[in-house]
Amino acid sequence: MLVVDYGAQYAQLIARRVREAGVYSEIVPNTLPLADLLARNPAAVILSGGPSSVYADGAPRIDPGLFDAGVPVLGICYGFHAMALALGGKVAQTGLREFGDTALDARPESSTLLAGTPERQPVWMSHGDAVHVAPFGFTVVAESGGSPVAAFEDDARRLYGIQWHPEVRHTQYGQQVLENFLFRGARLAGDWTTGSVIEEQVAIIRERIGDARAICGLSGGVDSAVSAALVQRAIGDALTCVFVDHGLLRAGEVEQVERDFVAATGVRLKVVDARDRFLDALAGITDPETKRKTVGREFIRVFEQAAREVVAEARQAERDSGGDAGREGTGGTEGGGEVRFLVQGTLYPDVVESGEGEGAANIKSHHNVGGLPDDLDFELVEPLRALFKDEVRAVGEQLGLPPEIVHRQPFPGPGLAIRVVGEVTRERLTVLRAADAIVREELTAAGLDRDIWQCPVVLLADIRSVGVQGDGRTYGHPVVLRPVNSEDAMTADWARLPFDLLARISNRITNEVPEVNRVVLDVTSKPPGTIEWE
């Protein structure tokens, strides 16, 4: 099934909800010609929302031929407006907007889309224009205060449209509406699983890399671990994982990678100690974007050096064994093959926030995406680029990775560099590591590791506050606890940790980390805040 992206930030979320229903989906840009779209033989099409008004100059349009192609179509928000206009309906600019939770009056007894849902239900709206007259042949099956035609359908042609966003969790019956379209309207079979991702990606990787070699930047997190496991399944020992100790890791992470991941996969692992290099490069930098780009640039430079060493080691091993050039072929060179490919654990939220999604704004560059230097010597392999975190975890479980890796809380590629607000120094990193280790220990002891999505600990390095310990005055740093719950990192809410747990964490940090005299809690959702502070 294809999702046509009209610039919605959550177009990928639509595809994700479709996959949850057991139907494989992909996203295509709205600029894709209709002939090319139909050449992909889609079983159904969903037209996403978007920021434009259908009456705005340059607003994307829909080729009306799509609706005569016999393909089931569902229009959502902007896709609904553009669909109605293309089919002869009326879309009005009334000036009355609906944003957020909205009460919907539905007619489920006569509807394919709304079957099994209540007559009055909460939905999530985000629109200014509204459909006022449905196209000929369509039945109106829902309305709201600002949308006289909030949903329409033509079962004979299997064409459907809705004003609200079923893909967001705020819409209580959104998943049921999507599944009604998929199974009742489009009559699809829900037999796709994450196992299909493994089979597909292994085949793609094997064909693309051929007889060349690849190197993977392993962080120890689930994203890079699953990427590495997929690529290893495809090309075996032609993959070497490089774990860069850049001095921005949390306590115990180097040992965890060497112990857990290597034991689970048997992958070739090369550990590079680059702590001095990264910290020297970050000296004096306080701007978050510059930090990210600096870390990304240094990562690539370290990988390039590691790749040269991998080739040299492979050649030496073959000479020692009396063998021939090992993996000659596409890009291969005598004595071990050229390392042409860099494997990265890029996920779709990284792509969206880096501004590479269709119509998406650049919120912050991810070190895998916006932070890469222009003179990159590698071709990128990103087998998880279209997936969300929960899908990646499901793939990891099917690949047999240990729970300690699969369910590890997300940790940013730039590491603690973006959790020190201010200049990154060895002394500040030591303080942050100590506080972070206490938080992780207490969350584990409370049995909450899998109950929250992530709990960044942030050091406000350029801020000090007055405190008192014993009989003396202190002037120390505050740290911020940022516990959040999320399904996909696109949106998040702050996690309501038990007060007694927060008290233990605060007491331990202020007692055991002398540079910190204040612990504060971040209770901001996303949006408006991002999960990380920088």
163 within 8 A of 131, measured Cβ to Cβ: yes
DSSP structure string for 407-429:
TPPP--TTGGGGTEES---HHHH
Active site annotation includes 167: yes
- Antiparallel, parallel or unpaired: β 159-162 and 130-133: unpaired
- Looking at 81, 127, 165, 477, which residue is catalytic? 165
- Distance (Å, whole) CA 506 – CA 242: 36
Strands annotated E in 232-376: 239-245, 268-273, 339-343
- Block residue for tokens 């050649």: 315
Q: Is 121 exposed, middle or buried (0-12, 13-18, 19+ CB in 10 A)?
A: buried
Q: Which amino acid is at 409?
A: Q
- Looking at 98, 143, 153, 167, which residue is catalytic? 167
- Strand (E) or helix (H) holding 143: strand 139-144
Q: Is it true that the peptide bond before 527 is cis, omega within 30 degrees of 0?
A: yes
Active site annotation includes 165: yes
Q: Is it true that the peptide bond before 528 is cis, omega within 30 degrees of 0?
A: yes
- Distance (Å, whole) CA 147 – CA 169: 21
Active site annotation includes 338: no
- Distance (Å, whole) CA 127 – CA 112: 24
- Distance (Å, whole) CA 135 – CA 139: 9
- Distance (Å, whole) CA 319 – CA 309: 15
- Looking at 77, 216, 241, 455, which residue is catalytic? 77
Q: Which amino acid is at 198?
A: I
151 within 8 A of 161, measured Cβ to Cβ: yes
Residues with catalytic roles: 77, 165, 167
